[in-house]
Amino acid sequence: MANYFNEEFETLPRVALEALQLKRLQDMLERIYNNVPFYKHIFDQRKITPKSVKSLDDLQNLPFTTKKDMMDSYPYGLFAAPMEEIVRIHASSGTTGKPTAAGYTGKDISLWAEMMARSLVAAGANKGDIIHNSYGYGLFTGGLGAHYGAERLGASVIPMSGGNTKRQVMIMQDFGSTVLTCTPSYALFIADEVKAQKIDFKNFKLRIGVFGAEPWSEAMRNEIEKKLNISAVDIYGLSEIMGPGVAIECREAKSGLHIWEDNFIPEIVDPATGERVKEGESGELVITTVTKQGMPLLRYRTRDITSITYEPCVCGRTHARISKFMGRSDDMLIIRGVNVFPSQIESILVGIEGVEPQYLLIIDRKGNLDTVQLQVEVDESLFSDEIKVLQVLSKKIEKEIKDTLGVTCSVKLVEPKTIERTEGKAKRVIDNRKF
């Protein structure tokens, strides 16, 4: 089985990789300075020119691009290529107000397909695979992104999109799907359906899962691998930068996601000060796209919290690895002064027998005090049991959360399958506080 999709670039020695990054960065700066008035304006204001950048280190003196800049330029203000060259437009899922639009030239689409093909191979897939793609097709980049990558690899892609889970299970079994691509929460949803139909994943041909678009813990990986009888890896991406395939775990290490550095220069910064943090320390991921033509972005603040390592990896890829994401800086909840990421709750729940990692956090403010109710689904086997067992279980969850996160919450156990499932990104928090 091939180990790499593009061996030369995936294993480029670091010195060569960094030289390539610098060259591409300098070209990209010229491109945005000459074609995007927004960038010309801030460069002129700060008296910087594309020529000011002589080394990769100089990048940190350049301005950031933020989500707000994208919104202010909505929809096409940051495009660097004329509309004649833009062949596709995607948009972020944006929960409030307008989405952000991203335009791609034909070259960008081709580059994206290669990044996704590299990612699939890193996950362990190859030409002979049948890729069951349950990411949503549409403005969301998941469906089409994974689709083009699978085709570039030369695998057979089944363009399922999300929804109609019964049919998904039938197709998966009948067509002998070997790779599943979807959100991790939807993978668990499919597992529930398989269980409800009293079929066993051991009778399926599925062997690999490529899951992303939302944070998921190591504990959730173990749960998914066990339930679906597969090897599962984490994939990262965002519409503003490209979609799925910006970074991927390799099947050999499953320890950090290789970010394709020949196209994306990553930096990790302190979200409050914007200063770079040390290797291994967590902070906000900032990405500069050095090869994109349609909408190149300079130092884009992703708001995703991770850390980076340049340590060599057993798989032989030389591209740096970012750690599994804690969540987004704007998803971080501050409950009675304590910082909490929903993914930490998930990790705790996966470790407790009798409950499913399906939960909903409801936060209110009574007087000046935050109150938290955590609704958790229990296992079918437990729900029919006597009240006392359920009481003991809720106390146990409350104690684990208090001990691990330092947050007091009241747990409400709910019947199996009562918490709303989505085929896309899971909704885990309802915050009723008014700030």
- Among positions 59, 122, 235, 360, the unique one binding ligand DLL when judged by CB under 6 A: 235
Give the shortest CB-143-to-ligand DLL separation in angstroms. Answer: 8
For the bound state, the minimum distance from the C-beta of residue 126 to ligand DLL, rounded and expressed in Å, comes to 20
Minimum distance of ligand DLL from residue 140's CB (angstroms): 6
Rounded Cα gap, residues 259 and 304, in angstroms: 14
* Contact in structure between 295 and 311 (CB atoms under 8 Å): no
Question: Are 104 and 80 in contact, with CB atoms under 8 Å apart?
Answer: no
Per CB under 6 A, does 237 bind ligand DLL? yes
The stretch among 139-147, 313-321, 405-413, 414-422 that binds ligand DLL (CB under 6 A) is 139-147
For the segment 197-216, give every residue that binds ligand DLL (CB under 6 A). Answer: 212-215
Q: How far is the CB of 122 from ligand DLL (least distance, A)?
A: 14
CB-nearest residue to ligand DLL: 212
SS3 category, 210: strand
Distances from the Cα of 90 to the Cα of 26, 86, 134, 143, 237, angstroms: 27, 11, 18, 11, 13
User: Which residues have a Cβ under 8 Å from the Cβ of 350 and sit 6 or more positions away?
Assistant: 217, 219, 220, 222, 223, 357
C-alpha–C-alpha distance, residues 230 and 160, integer Å: 19
Q: Is 306 near ligand DLL (CB under 6 A)?
A: no
Instruction: List the structure tokens of 113.
Output: 């397909």
| DSSP bridge pairs for 257 | 249, 322
Relative to beta strand 355-366, strand 429-431 is parallel
Tell me if 243 contacts ligand DLL by CB under 6 A.
yes
User: What sections of 124-240 are H helices per DSSP?
Assistant: 141-153, 165-174, 184-196, 218-228
| Distance in Å, CB of 426 to ligand DLL, minimum | 11
CB of residue 267 to ligand DLL, shortest distance in Å: 15
| Binding residues among 72-111 for ligand DLL as defined by CB under 6 A | 92-93
Residue 142 makes contact with ligand DLL by CB under 6 A: yes
CA distance 220 to 346: 8
* Cα-based distances in Å from 365 to 23, 129, 261: 53, 51, 44
Burial class, 383, CB count within 10 angstroms (exposed 0-12 / middle 13-18 / buried 19+) = middle
* Of residues 63 and 138, the one with the C-beta less far from ligand DLL: 138
Residue 26 touches ligand DLL, criterion: CB under 6 A: no
Contact between 328 and ligand DLL by CB under 6 A: the answer reads yes
Characterize 123-135 residue by residue with b for buried, 16 or more Cβ atoms within 10 angstroms of its Cβ, and e for exposed. Answer: bbbbeebbbbbbb
- Other CB atoms within a 10 A radius of the CB of residue 404 amount to 13
Answer for which of 114, 129, 262, 304 binds ligand DLL (CB under 6 A) is: 304
Taking the least distance from each CB to ligand DLL, the nearer of 332 and 414 is 332
268 binds ligand DLL (CB under 6 A): no
Interface with ligand DLL, residue 117, by CB under 6 A: no
CB-side exposure of 248: number of CA atoms within 13 Å? 31
- Smallest separation (angstroms) from ligand DLL to the CB of 120: 12
Kindly state the smallest distance separating residue 50's Cβ from ligand DLL, in Å.
Answer: 27
Among 79, 236, 260, 359, binds ligand DLL (CB under 6 A): 236
Residue whose tokens read 């940190």: 60
Distance in Å, CB of 197 to ligand DLL, minimum: 26
Shortest reach from residue 244's CB to ligand DLL, in Å: 4
Q: Choose the binding region for ligand DLL from 15-23, 136-144, 189-197, 401-409 (rule: CB under 6 A).
A: 136-144
Judged by CB, which is closer to ligand DLL: 115, or 360?
115
Helix locations, 218-341, DSSP H: 218-228
Quick check: 294 binds ligand DLL (CB under 6 A)? no
Q: How far is the CB of 208 from ligand DLL (least distance, A)?
A: 14
125: Cβ contacts below 8 Å, ≥ 6 apart: 131, 150, 153, 155, 178, 179, 208, 210
Residue 412: how many other CB atoms lie within 10 Å: 12
Q: Does 267 bind ligand DLL (CB under 6 A)?
A: no
**Sole binder of ligand DLL in the list 81, 115, 238, 313 (CB under 6 A):** 238
Site of interaction with ligand DLL (CB under 6 A): 92-93, 135, 140-142, 212-215, 234-239, 243-244, 302, 304, 325, 328
